[in-house]
């Protein structure tokens, strides 16, 4: 055999004295049980001696799979997304799948574009953490083409509107997380509390607003002094702008505590408090959400709600891999409890 030619399966079969189909089965993880141990050992030894390598692409096509999963996220710059991806990668490492990651920048048009590209690359399934509320029909159609697992963001509006959908979802319990945050402020004696809510196009913010409102409903002695405005972008600048509107209210309407729907907006709120020559937490306490890296090093360190990003990613991937093996979870929706982290940006109300 010429040294310049790469050995193929026919070479292995000829040297082993078996049919090409037998050689193929002996070298296949899925079909090696169909040949005797002696034949398998002989074929494997000859393949190694010849330097033959199985064609993974050809094998995947025969199985009808590519061994890849699509992972669609909204913002790769978001530290929470990094934690989510690590959870997915950790679970994928124990199996035979490779994640292909795409980013949408929270643009519905880009979401559809990246999903189309992933389908063209024949991904075996998709883990979607960038869906917005208005994307439900699109996702329902996608589920008819490939297995889909919704991570972090879901469609809680379906149940409320009476729509019967059976999306597979792995979500943080944002409703509970918000309630815990507000209950903490109430326990400190705060009675004028405002939220800085994110866009209601994202289910996470919808659930956090619901939790905020429910906690205050149970305490009629407390007042919701929010402006009613929603932040179109959940960043520091928008948190600062929203907080500035809150601080323009008369002193008897001004909040003594603010619950921001994420840490970036909480940081913006603290900036606005300082710019107004007020102090956090002595004048206004602030709670964020997510527990982003370094928020414990702020001045003051940020009280926040920690989301289990790694575990959300790991469970989403596990469900996706089970689906590919024909195993559907008994629970359509799995929710993970967040963890409240008390730090220095909240304190007892002092009139």
CA distance 142 to 189: 48
DSSP conformation class of 242 = H
| Closest listed residue to residue 212, CA positions, set 185, 238, 234, 235 | 185
Q: Which domains does the chain have, with CATH numbers?
A: 9-62 (1.10.260.40), 67-351 (3.40.50.2300)
Across the range 260-265, mean pLDDT stands at 97
195-215 pLDDT, tens digit each = 999 999 999 999 999 999 999
Whether the pLDDT of residue 281 is over 60: the answer is: yes
Whether the pLDDT of residue 285 is over 90: the answer is: yes
DSSP conformation class of 289 = S
pLDDT, position 330? 85
Whether the pLDDT of residue 302 is over 80: the answer is: yes
pLDDT, position 259? 98
pLDDT, position 139? 96
CA angle 114, 62, 89 (to 5 degrees): 45
Residues 6+ apart with CB under 8 A from 194: 224, 225, 226, 227, 246, 255, 257, 258, 259
pLDDT, position 50? 83
316-327 pLDDT, tens digit each = 999 999 998 888
What kind and span of H or E run contains 101?
strand 98-103
pLDDT, position 161? 47
Residue in the block written with tokens 């306490």: 285
In order of 9, 81, 227, 302, 331, the CA distances from 239 in angstroms are 62, 20, 13, 14, 36
Whether the pLDDT of residue 267 is over 50: the answer is: yes
CA distance 228 to 218: 20
pLDDT range class, residue 283, cuts 50, 70, 90? very high
Could you give the percent of the chain with pLDDT greater than 90? Answer: 73
pLDDT, position 63? 56
219-260 pLDDT, tens digit each = 999 999 999 999 999 999 999 999 999 999 998 899 999 999
Q: What are phi and psi of 146, to 5 degrees?
A: -145, 160
Q: What are phi and psi of 6, to 5 degrees?
A: -75, 130
């Amino acid at each position: 055999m010429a040294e310049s030619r790469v050995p193929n399966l026919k070479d292995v079969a000829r040297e082993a004295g078996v049919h090409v189909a037998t050689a193929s089965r002996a070298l296949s993880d899925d079909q090696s049980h169909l040949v005797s141990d002696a034949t398998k050992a002989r074929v494997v030894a000859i393949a190694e001696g010849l330097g033959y390598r199985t064609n993974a692409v050809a094998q995947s096509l025969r199985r009808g799979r590519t061994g890849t999963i699509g992972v669609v996220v909204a913002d790769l710059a978001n530290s929470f997304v990094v934690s989510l991806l690590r959870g997915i990668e950790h679970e994928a490492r124990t199996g035979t799948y490779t994640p292909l990651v795409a980013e949408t920048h929270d643009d519905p048009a880009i979401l559809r574009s990246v999903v189309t590209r992933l389908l063209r690359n024949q991904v075996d399934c998709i883990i979607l953490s960038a869906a917005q509320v208005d994307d439900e029909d699109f996702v329902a159609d996608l589920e008819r083409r490939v297995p889909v697992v919704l991570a972090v963001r879901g469609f809680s509006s379906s149940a409320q509107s009476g729509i019967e959908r059976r999306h597979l979802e792995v979500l943080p319990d944002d409703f509970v997380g918000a309630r815990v945050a507000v209950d903490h402020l109430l326990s400190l004696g705060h009675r004028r509390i405002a939220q800085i809510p994110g866009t209601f196009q994202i289910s996470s913010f919808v659930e956090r607003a619901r939790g905020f409102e429910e906690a205050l409903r149970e305490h009629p002695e407390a007042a919701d002094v929010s402006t009613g405005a929603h932040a179109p972008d959940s960043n520091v600048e928008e948190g600062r702008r929203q907080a500035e509107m809150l601080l323009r209210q008369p002193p008897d309407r001004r909040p003594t505590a603010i619950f921001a729907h994420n840490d970036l907006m909480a940081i913006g709120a603290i900036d606005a408090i300082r710019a107004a020559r007020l102090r956090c937490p002595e004048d206004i306490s602030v709670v964020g959400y997510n527990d982003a890296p370094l928020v414990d090093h702020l001045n003051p360190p940020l009280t926040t709600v920690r989301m289990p990003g790694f575990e959300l990613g790991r469970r989403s991937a596990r469900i996706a891999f089970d689906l590919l093996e024909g195993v559907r979870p008994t629970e359509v929706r799995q929710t993970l409890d967040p963890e409240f982290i008390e730090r220095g940006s909240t304190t007892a109300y002092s009139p």
